[in-house]
Amino acid sequence: MDQLTPDQFYSPYRRFSAEEWAGFRADTPLTLTEDEIRRLRSMGDPIDLEETRRIYLSMSRLLSAHVEASQLLFRQRQVFFRSETASKTPFIIGIAGSVAVGKSTTARVLKELLQRWPSSPKVDLVTTDGFLLPNAELRRQNLMERKGFPESYDVGALLRFLSGIKSGARNMRAPLYSHFTYDVLPGEFVTIDQPDILIFEGINVLQTRDLPKDGKVVPFVSDFFDFSIYVDAEESRIRQWYVERFMRLRETAFRNPDAFFHKYSQLSDDAALAIAENLWSNINMKNLIENILPTRPRADLILRKGADHLVEEVALRRL
């Protein structure tokens, strides 16, 4: 956690090894099977039941405490405002981190664990991919090489969606995205109807902007979060995982003639490897260094992965 602070004494985080963190799961039951974990994990992610026990059960227990505290505060505010008709406010968890670091697996595993709590809460998962500007608009603005950077998103739509969710609005729609066609799906949405918990996952969800000097309200996406998680690893390791995933996709999804990246499946291994390295260096690494990594200290919890793609350290923000 080299960027958190050079001196632990002043750090806003408490840091734990994976083994220390595992001890906090107490009697939290493991409600997932090996087959379910296999279905939830992304390509190249080796998460298994043991990793779920070590890392995710303690996270589930911690989040349970946060959700209960949030619900209690909401009820107390209803009493304070003498309101009996206020809609419930969903608890929103933001998950950030680089491309290929394992955010999607973290989000899916957490969703499954949270919705299996004894109280059976309604848990939904939305990714920011659907809020990317369509490829046609990105090309019009000459932003295809900046896809995934903050300027490639429809920030207004993002904020309207989260504001509606946090206000307890019914049937909020989030646009859908296809990694197969590498584009937003026109006219296709997922409807989110007053969940107890919403997991909101994306590379830039902890991003901030310059504040106006006149003091006007400029909301950030993260302003709507009740808890945030950053999935972290050394840049060199993320690059390796990205390249390995790209090369595997050449043998699977890219083989389909209708796939956006089908052309890469026709290249030699050396040529494809060069393309993958170039995509990482000129797009994804730049986005990581310029926009994603600087948001890491804003997270409530940081999962630090080692060379084996498994979490080796956890940092939790102090209360």
| Whole-Å CA distances, 261 to 179, 246, 311 | 10, 10, 31
Residue 238 CA to residue 102 CA, distance in Å, equals: 9
CA distance 44 to 100: 9
Closest by alpha carbon to 288, among 97, 123, 137?
Answer: 97
**What is the model's pTM?**
0.94
Contact 226, 114 (CB under 8 A): no
Q: Per residue in 37-65, pLDDT tens?
A: 999 998 888 999 999 999 999 999 999 99
Length of the chain, in residues: 319
**pLDDT tens-digit readout, 257-308:** 988 999 989 889 999 999 999 999 999 999 999 999 999 999 999 999 999 9
Domains identified in the chain and CATH numbers: 8-317 (3.40.50.300)
In angstroms, rounded to a whole number, what is the distance separating the alpha carbons of residues 93 and 97? 14
Alpha-carbon distance 282 to 288, whole Å? 11
Query: Is the Cβ–Cβ distance between 226 and 69 less than 8 Å?
Result: no
CA distance 145 to 283: 7
pLDDT of residue 7: 52
